[in-house]
Chains A and B, each alone.
Chain A
Amino acid sequence: MPRKLTIDLGALERRYHELSRMIHPDRFASSAARVRDASLRATATLTRSYRTLRDPVARGLYWLELNGEKLAENNKRVPPELAELVFEVQEQLAGMHDAPADSDAACELAAQVVARRSQLQATMDASRAELERNFVKWDQRPDEKMLTLELKAILSSIAYLRTLIRDVDRALENSKAA
C-alpha cells in the first residue's frame, strides 16, 4: 500500500485478512514448536501494525516516527485553545480532592467534573476529526516542514487531552471509593 497519511480502510482490511489467512497461528497448529512460535510473533506484529494504521492518531504518530520526529514526552504545556477548559477542570479536581468525602459539595463537584469530562471528550473527538481532514490536505503537499509542525501540534493536543481525561477518570474513581 502506498505510503500516505490517508488510507483506504477497506483495502487495508482486505490486506490484513489476506495476510492473517497465511501466517496466523491457527494455520500452524500441527507444526513444530519453533514454527508455531515464529507464527505467533509474526501475527502479533501484523495485528499491531493493522491497529496502528487503522487509527488516525496512531497513524499520525507512526508517520512522525518514520520521519525521525516524535512528540515531546510528558508534555506539560497546555495547548492555548484549551487553556480555559483545562483550568476549570483542574480547579474542580482540586476541589473534589479537598472536599470531605460524601459531602454535598463533593457530590456536586463530581457531577460537574463528569460534565466537564464529556466536554473534554467532545473536544478530543473534534481534534481527531480535524486530524483526518488534514491528512487529505497534507498528502497533497508532502514536502512542507509546516506539515510536521501542524501534525505535531494536533497530536500534542490530543495526547494532552487523553492524559487529562485519564486523570479525571482516576479522580472520579478515587472519590467513589472514598
Chain B
Amino acid sequence: MARIFGIDLGTTNSLIAAMEDGAPRVIAMGGNHSALLPSVVAIAPDGAITVGERAIEMEPHLTVERDGRVSAIGFAGGQYGAVIRSVKRYMGLGGDEIAPEDRARYTFADLSGSVVRFQIGKRVLTPSQISAEILRALKDGAERALRAAGKDEKVERVVITVPAYFNDGQRQATKDAGRLAGLEVVRLVNEPTAASLAYGLNKRATGNVAVFDFGGGTFDISILSVKEGIFEVLATNGDTHLGGDDIDRVIVDWLLAELPDALKLDRHVWNSARMAAENAKKRLSDVAETPVAVDLLGHSIRKHLTRDALEKMAEPFLARALKRCELAVADAQLTPADIDAVVLVGGSTRMPLVRQRVAAMFHKEPLCSIDPDQVVALGAAVQASVLMGTQGDMLLLDVVPLSLGIETMGGVMERLIHRNTTIPTSVAEGFTTAVDNQTHVDVHVLQGERELAKDCRSLARFKLGPIQPQPAGVPRIEVTFLIDANGILNVNARDERTGREHSVDVKPSYGLTDDEIERMLEEAIDLGEQDLEERLLISYRNDAEQILGALRKQLGEFGALVDVGERGRMDEVVERLEAARTGTDRELIAKLVEELNEVTTPFAERIMDAAIKLALEKKSVEELS
C-alpha cells in the first residue's frame, strides 16, 4: 500500500513530510533544498505555471537595475498573467465573502457566484485549482528528492492540514484541490491538533495542552487533553482571517502613507512595500529597530521601524487572538491555570510580543522547541503513520468547530450538532409535510453560532422526496446528518414508514460540484501535463491498486472469515483485475473494481461485525446507545 505523506498547505508556505525511521521529517526540495515552498503561484499568459521562489520573482514589483534605474517587472495581472499569493484566504468562499483588502489585490470574474473565480488573461481559475498547483509542486518536488536519495516512490496518498476553524465549504475546497492535483486525500487534519501530535510523539505526554497557532492568514487555538496516546480535542476557536498578513498590511500603510492614492494602489509599489515590510517585521524579532526602504521610480521611501511601533500595530490583532483563547478555554470548561503546556505554532509566533502575551495568559512559558514553521507538517506525517497503522495506539479525536443546524420556521437556526462535539458524530432528525399531498420538503443546512438563520453561514440545501401524496403531517422522513472525521457533512435520508433510503441531492451553497471538478480535470491548465486519457488511466489504476491492497491486508488478518467457495470467487476476480491493471483498457479496470467490491462486500461486513463485537464484548451495545 502506498505510503501516506503529510502536507501543510499553508497561507504563506507549504511543506510535505513523511515518517523516516520512526521520526517525522520534512522533505527538502527545490534548488536550494529548502523545506518551505512559498504558497505563491504564477500563471503566465501562455498558461505555464510556476510555484514557489521563482513565482515570487515574477510577482509585480519594483527592482533597481544595475545602472541605478528603477523598473517595474512581473505579471501585473489582466492579460499579462498573474501571481497569486495567499490563495488560502480565498478557499471555500463565495464572491461576496471576500474581505475588502483581499478583493482589491486581484482581478476576479463575476463576484456574484458561490465560488470565487480569478480572472487571469482569458482564463478563469478557482482557488482550488490554484491550490492544486501548489500541491502538485510539493508532489513533484518530493518525488524528485526521493529519487535523488535512491527511492523510486510516488506521492499518491496524503493527509492535508487545514485550520481548525475552517468551515465545511473551506474543507471541501481543500479536498477538491487534492483531487485536482491527482492525490488521494486520506484525511484532513486540523493544524493545531497536528502540531500537538508532533510534540506528543516522544514525550508520551499526559495533561491539558493549548496550541496557539498564529500563521500568515489564519489563527487557531485548540485545547486538548492528552492521555495515553489519545489526543482528544476539548474545544477549538479561531479566526480564518487573522494572521501575519494583516500585520504586514498595517506596516505597508504606514510605509506608503505619504504617497498619492494612485501610487499606493499600484501593484508593483504595493508588492515591493509588502516585501520590505515583511522583512522588517521579521528582523524586529531580533533587533529593536531597523531601516525599511522602498525604491520607487523617481524617489525612494526610507523610514525606520522600531519594535515598539511594530508592537502597537500588531496589538489589535493579537488582542483578537487572545479573546478567542479565552472563549476556547471556557468552552473546554477549564481555566488557564488548568493548562499544563502551551505550544506555539506558525511563523508569526516568533514575535516576542506574542510570546509574552501568551505566557501572561497561561502563566507559563510557551513551548516552541520544534520549528514553528515546520511543526504542522511534521504532525501531519505523524497522523499519516497513524492512518497507516504504524503508530501503535495513538489516536486523534478532533471536534467540529462550528455548530450545525437547520433553518426552521421564522428564520431561526435550530442547532442539531453543537460546536466542539467530537467527530465523527451524527444526529437524526424527523421531517414531515406541512400541507396535504406535499411532494417535497426543503431543508436548509447552516453553520454558525447565531440565533437567526440569516446570520449563519449557508452550508447546503436539499429537497426530500418525491413523497407519496398523503395528508399533511403523515409522512415521516428521517434524515441523518453525519459529520465525518474530516469535519465534512454527509447526509442520508430514510423513509421511516417504508424503511427505504431516499437519495439526497445535496447542493452545497459554496463550492464546486462533482461535474465541475470532472470538467476541470479535463481542462489541463499546465501545458506540460500528461494528456487526459493517461491521467484517467492512472487514476483508475490507483483505484485498482487500493482495493487489491486493502483486500490483501484483510485476507491476511481475517482470512478465517471467508469460506472456500467465496474465496475461490474472490481470487478469480482478483486475477482478472491484476491482469487488467497493467493494461490500458480503463473501462475494463473500472468494471472489475466494481465487481470485486460486490464480491467482497459480505466479507467486509463480516470484518466490521467482528471488530465491533470484539470492541463491545462483555458489554451490550444498548448500555452505550
Contact = CB atoms under 8 A, between A and B. Distances in A.
Contacts, number: 128
A39 B610 CA distance: 12
B21 interface: no
A2 B248 CA distance: 59
B187 A174 contact: no
Interface in A1-20: 1, 3, 15, 17-20
B625 A35 contact: no
B contacts with A: majority SS: mixed
A121 B303 CA distance: 54
Contacts of B152: none
Interface in A117-151: none
A22 B608 CA distance: 11
Interface string A157-172: 0000000001001100
B422 A47 contact: yes
Rank and list the top 4 A-B pairs by shortest CB-CB distance, nearest first.
Answer: A44-B426, A29-B387, A38-B608, A22-B615
Interface residues of A, number: 43
Interface in B370-407: 383, 386-389, 393, 395-397
Contacts of B396: 26
Contacts of B187: 26, 29
A66 B386 CA distance: 37
Given A32-B604, A35-B607, 8 more contacts: A1-B623, A22-B611, A32-B547, A33-B597, A34-B601, A34-B608, A44-B425, A173-B455
B388 A25 contact: no
A30 interface: yes
A contacts with B: majority SS: helix
Interface string A47-66: 11111010000000000001
Interface string A62-92: 0000100000000000000000000000000
B625 A25 contact: no
A25 B484 contact: yes
A48 B425 contact: yes
Contact of B426 (A22, A25, A45, A170): A45
Interface stretch (B56-64, B353-361, B550-558): B550-558
Contact of B388 (A30, A38, A49, A166): A30
B229 to A, nearest CB: 8
13 contacts: A19-B624, A26-B187, A26-B396, A26-B485, A31-B550, A31-B553, A34-B597, A40-B482, A49-B625, A50-B624, A51-B425, A166-B451, A174-B451
A44 B482 contact: yes
Contacts of A1: 619, 623
Q: Point out which of B421, B427, B608 has the most chain A C-beta atoms below 10 A from its C-beta.
A: B608
Interface string B602-617: 0011011001101110
B366 interface: no
Interface of A: 1, 3, 15, 17-27, 29-35, 38-51, 53, 66, 166, 169-170, 173-174, 177
B452 interface: yes
A27 B607 CA distance: 13
Given A30-B388, A170-B452, A17 B554 contact: no
B624 A46 contact: yes
B424 interface: yes
Q: Point out which of B395, B424, B450, B623 has the most chain A C-beta atoms below 10 A from its C-beta.
A: B424
B559 to A, nearest CB: 15
B443 interface: no
B484 A20 contact: no
Contacts of B607: 31, 35
B614 to A, nearest CB: 7
Contact of B608 (A18, A30, A35): A35
Contact of B612 (A42, A49, A66, A169): A42
B69 interface: no
B550 to A, nearest CB: 5
Contacts of B625: 45, 48-49
B397 A20 contact: yes
Q: Point out which of B1, B421, B547, B607 has the most chain A C-beta atoms below 10 A from its C-beta.
A: B607
Contacts of A174: 451-452
B113 interface: no
A41 B482 contact: yes
